[in-house]
Chain A
């Protein structure tokens, strides 16, 4: 069978329309304002994004994708899709602010036995970064501190150096902006330089 070749990526550039962001795009706990809440423990995930020299990178477009509280995806490729939380979409988007700050309100994702690899996936959040200067998106995966499953997770385990793996484990510092009264998890995304975030082949 003829295989088509994926269209080449191109940078988002600096002009991603601001009105593509609407209030609630970074709140995964409701699909739409006033809709029923997703099941699970609500959490606040925030961070800062930096370019070389630890310069805050504003106007980055950050998207996340994750399983629901039960470790399910409402997608035909998940054998357990029928059990997935109907009130959870799993996707959110946010632009970083002047100081590189970004945040999401979401639910604690569940781990799951992966039917593709046969491995156990620890709770995690997939994150992608696009923006000017990035001809292709950068993708990485965030993990939760103290999760016993982290050590056996095949994606975290793809990074050999424990010091680099640690950069993908969320911290528990409080947000400098807002508490929401939720457990807060923090991450620095360093595109280049000291403390550079490990990214994965997309």
Chain B
């Protein structure tokens, strides 16, 4: 039981993506025109579901070899691991992370991607769910996703390989959906979604770090480390 409640400052626009992106057509018709209203923070915003795993069952931390009696998924095997922390650096324990990404051919398992000319991989599930441990750590095994084109505009661009991650955190205001990118990919520099975050340091934090090969326990698996910070910090005690 905490004596001081979590507080939530508004996000800094420099470290968050623009809502309207010129060549990302869907943003033109789905982003409100009215300014957003500032609301006071009350109990309902600083609380959130604490037993989500009962509804969103974790355990799918192997996207690369999900069916024990079948071959593994095509593509470069990777692990992605890291810590989820709040703004004070406290570990966010027992929180559900959902993740999903394209297969090695840049195709999703989704009806919206049914016209993708690239093949599905019957041995790749494309999504998983993990829970952070007592130190806020998570890890999953998967394959490196392929790039794919953003098609819905005359000015097309390649989306670099990326992994979607949905994190619940400790409360309603901590909820985060983000994308993780891979270091050194030249497509990162032309991705309008990654580049919509104004602050270069904030963009850099969306890019995973490759773990040196010598530190990986298995020779044929590439390791990536990706730490995530969700919103929320303790109030400064009065007088300090």
Binding site for B on A (CB under 8 A): 1-20, 22, 24-25, 31-32, 51-53, 55, 57, 59, 63, 65-67, 73-78, 89-91, 112, 114-117, 119, 121, 124, 126, 128, 130-139, 141, 154-155, 158-159, 191-193, 196-202
Within 8 A of A (CB), among B191-210: 193-194, 196-197, 202-203, 205-206
A201 to B53, CA, bound (A): 28
CB distance from A112 to the nearest CB of B (A): 7
A8 to B17, CA, bound (A): 7
Residues of A within 8 A of B194 (CB): 10
Is A7 touching B176 in the complex (CB atoms < 8 A)?
yes
Closest to A132 in B: B26
Closest to B8 in A: A202
Known: A8-B17, A9-B176. A1 touches B51 (CB 8 A): no
A170 to B203, CA, bound (A): 39
A155 to B171, CA, bound (A): 17
Once A and B bind, how many residue pairs between them come within 8 Å at the CB atom?
A: 249
A111 to B52, CA, bound (A): 23
Is B193 touching A116 in the complex (CB atoms < 8 A)?
no
Residues of A within 8 A of B196 (CB): 135
Closest to B17 in A: A135
Q: How many residues of B are in contact with the other chain, CB < 8 A?
A: 85
Residues of B within 8 A of A67 (CB): 44
A19 to B110, CA, bound (A): 10
Known: A31-B54, A31-B55, A158-B37. A126 touches B45 (CB 8 A): yes
**CB within 8 A of B172: which of A13, A14, A55, A65?**
A65
A6 to B89, CA, bound (A): 11
Q: A15-B108, A65-B172 are in contact. List 10 more A-B contacts (CB 8 A).
A: A6-B11, A6-B229, A7-B228, A16-B110, A115-B43, A116-B41, A191-B32, A196-B32, A201-B36, A202-B173
CB distance from A50 to the nearest CB of B (A): 10
Residues of B within 8 A of A31 (CB): 51, 54-55
Within 8 A of A (CB), among B101-129: 102, 108-113, 126-127, 129
B76 within 8 A of A: no
Query: What 0/1 pattern do residues 60 to 102 of B give for CB contact below 8 A with A?
Result: 0000000000000000000000000111110000000010101
